Amino acid sequence: MVDNFEGYRAFLAVAQTGSFSKAAEKLSVTQPAVSHAVRRLEERLGGPLFYRTPAGVRLTSEGEVLHKFVSQAFHFLENGEKKIAEMRELIAGEVKIGAGDTLCRHYLLPHLESFHREHPAVKIQVTNRTTRETIALLKEGRIDFGIVNLPVKDSQLVIRESIPLHDCFVAGEAFRELAERTVSWEELVRHPLILLEQGSNIRGYIDRFARKQGVAIQPEFELGSIDLLVQFARIGLGVACVIREFVAEELNKGALYEVRVDVPLPPRRVGLVTLRDVPLSLAAGRFLERLP
């Protein structure tokens, strides 16, 4: 079809107008150009597609059959162009995002709300996974971009650093006295600790840093989300490692108390990751642009 595109275009115009001269006007070309294109198409297909009448030209029986398929094909092309135009205006499209529960709630959700309000026709799909699982989904092509906990090193990814995060230890009323002074890591690990489960990027970061301080962390509880860590700490089950920015309200209200260690955990950052050399859809690109 690609080799005969102009022939099909001329054929459709003649069929619609019933005249070679009117088809030429419609296509903004000369009449001989239309005649030549149709004649080449007829030669390729092995027979005439039109016959002349006093009122102009009419389709042959073979031309009638071909016209049904050609008009449908051009209709699909027009719809495709229309759909692309709609996507560029964000009247349509889809954004597929991967993010952990905590980052989804505390980082993504406000931007998700504003984007949906401005572009309600764009479908948004969010898949909750750990950093490692999010990167796997990205490499499988199942999401457009991921929101992860840094540090991450992977040559296949483009990583944009976003807002800083400060890991800290917090406790409820039962361990309030720890918050009244600075404690060493050696003292900290003697208390019941509440951490994210192994396999998460944050947990690996904390374990590595603790080893540098000469201690091994053996938590009392290993949980799947920051929100659960907060709840366990509030009811006095131990000292939890959470993200300060995401528990600011509890700290301000006195529902939690920060336990300061003599060597604090260095700040991390949220990471926005995409696959290297893989272009984003317009909708996904626009969404990613609004994230800090």
pLDDT of residue 2: 54
CATH number for the domain whose boundaries are 2-88: 1.10.10.10
Does residue 87 surpass a pLDDT of 80? no
d(C-alpha 223, C-alpha 211), whole Å: 21
Please give the single-letter amino acid code of residue 113.
E
d(C-alpha 283, C-alpha 88), whole Å: 8
Q: Which CATH number fits domain 167-266: 2.40.30.10, 3.30.70.3270, 3.40.190.10, 3.40.50.1980?
A: 3.40.190.10
d(C-alpha 3, C-alpha 170), whole Å: 70
- Measured CA to CA in angstroms, residue 139 lies from 151, 175, 269 at distances of 18, 44, 21
Mean of pLDDT values over 35-45: 93
Label residue 187 by pLDDT band (50, 70, 90): very high
Mean of pLDDT values over 228-239: 96
Fold classified for 94-164+270-290: D-Maltodextrin-Binding Protein; domain 2 (3.40.190)
Do the domains 94-164+270-290 and 2-88 match in fold?
no
Of the listed ranges 23-27, 74-78, 229-233, the least confidently predicted one is 74-78
Beta-carbon contacts of 41 under 8 Å, excluding residues fewer than 6 positions away, are 4, 7, 8, 10, 11, 49
Does residue 56 surpass a pLDDT of 60? yes
Strands (E), 197-284: 221-223, 239-243, 257-259, 268-275
pLDDT of residue 188: 97
Q: For 159, phi and psi rounded to 5 degrees?
A: -115, 120
pLDDT of residue 117: 92
Mean of pLDDT values over 115-137: 93
Label residue 1 by pLDDT band (50, 70, 90): low
d(C-alpha 112, C-alpha 124), whole Å: 8
How many degrees, rounded to 5, is the angle at CA 154 between CA 161 and CA 194? Answer: 70
Label residue 11 by pLDDT band (50, 70, 90): very high
Q: Tokens 């540098």 label which residue?
A: 212
Contact in structure between 232 and 238 (CB atoms under 8 Å) = yes
List the structure tokens of 106: 């505390």
Does residue 86 surpass a pLDDT of 70? no
Residue range 61-79, pLDDT digits in tens: 999 999 999 998 888 888 7
Domain locations along the chain: 2-88, 94-164+270-290, 167-266
- Measured CA to CA in angstroms, residue 189 lies from 42, 209, 234, 259, 261 at distances of 85, 13, 18, 12, 11
